[in-house]
Amino acid sequence: MEHDLNSAAWYSHGDILYSLGHYEGAIAGYDRMLATQSDLYEVWNNRGYALENLSRYQEALASFGQALSIHPEFALAWHGKGIVLARLGRYQEALVCFNKTLWLVPTDLKARYNQGKALAHLHRYEEALASFDRVIETNPTDYKAWYSRSKVLASLDKLHLALVSLDRTLAINSLCYYAWNYRGTVLTRTGDYDGAIASFDQSLQHKPNNPDAWYSKARCYALKGETQLALSYLQRAIKLNPPLYRALARGDSHFQSLLQTQQLQTLLQRQG
């Protein structure tokens, strides 16, 4: 459907603002256009993605719904709807949307990756692994797919294979702090505490204010029986996020050997 020059200008204006990350302004531009021509499914779709970026998920779902009511086989809107549903923790519904996207566009690697993520959240690990493998077959340098593959393998207790995938992740992107962190977590599960500590150190080199790495490092030292180092690193984690890491430490069996120490009791009770 053709639209007038003024409408086209608002659409272009909205897309420019969207590309610059000015999502509120983009939505205003799309709304101006939809006020005169409400059947423009691409505009509803773009509006949905802008709303998703602002975490306005219910409004985003409504926009994608409008796009799909006009054009039921518009793959981008199915994908966007799936992304929003996943953000809301509605993974089964999200999976339906990603499957529909892939039925329409089988080569869409982003949808294939998101399909894998939804399957992993549903604990359908073998199917998730197949999705990530499909992504990697087409794009072997997709470090996020390798990383997500490692998490699925670890969930299947295939720790050696998980480490292989993490090493591939880090060979592609050595700055990926969360992959270093997860590598440390997997090595902790294998009992290689020194290797785990080295991985946490790498993670902290790239993101020093990463409380999870400090906390995980403290756990390793507790398991090694090195009380003072464990307490020191636990304190670093708690300083960065007091409520969360105090709560975690209180219920963490890895710190069982330290629970009777006055230093740990003081650390867990201190406010701020």
What residue spans in the chain does CATH classification 1.25.40.10 cover?
1-105, 107-173, 190-272
What tokens were used for 164?
């292989």
Distance between CA atoms of residues 99 and 37, nearest Å: 30
H or E segment and range at residue 181: helix 177-190
Asked if residue 181 has pLDDT above 60, the reply is yes
**Whole-number percent of the chain with pLDDT over 70:** 94
Predicted confidence (pLDDT) per residue in 114-170, tens digit: 999 999 999 999 999 999 999 999 999 999 999 999 999 999 999 999 999 999 999
Span of 25-29, 185-189, 263-267 with lowest mean pLDDT: 263-267
Output b/e per residue, 60-82; b: 16+ Cβ within 10 A. Answer: bbbbbebbbebbeebbbbbbbbb
Asked if residue 249 has pLDDT above 50, the reply is yes
Long-range CB contacts (within 8 A, 24+) of 30-33: 32/7, 33/3, 33/7
Q: How far is CA 66 from CA 4, 29, 84, 114, 137, in A?
A: 21, 17, 15, 22, 35
Q: How far is CA 181 from CA 120, 131, 158, in A?
A: 19, 24, 18
Asked if residue 271 has pLDDT above 70, the reply is no
CATH number for the segment(s) 1-105: 1.25.40.10
In terms of pLDDT, which residue wins out, 29 or 269? 29
What tokens were used for 14?
């909205």
Asked if residue 62 has pLDDT above 90, the reply is yes
pLDDT band at 81 (very low <50, low <70, confident <90, very high): very high
Pick the CATH number of 107-173 from 1.10.10.10, 2.60.40.10, 1.25.40.10, 3.40.50.300: 1.25.40.10
Prediction pTM value: 0.89
Predicted confidence (pLDDT) per residue in 187-212, tens digit: 999 999 999 999 999 999 999 999 99
In terms of pLDDT, which residue wins out, 154 or 23? 154
Asked if residue 176 has pLDDT above 90, the reply is yes
Average pLDDT over every residue of 99-113 = 98
pLDDT at 5: 39
Count the neighbouring beta carbons within 10 Å of the beta carbon of residue 176.
Answer: 22
What topology does CATH give the domain 190-272?
A: 1.25.40
In terms of pLDDT, which residue wins out, 100 or 1? 100
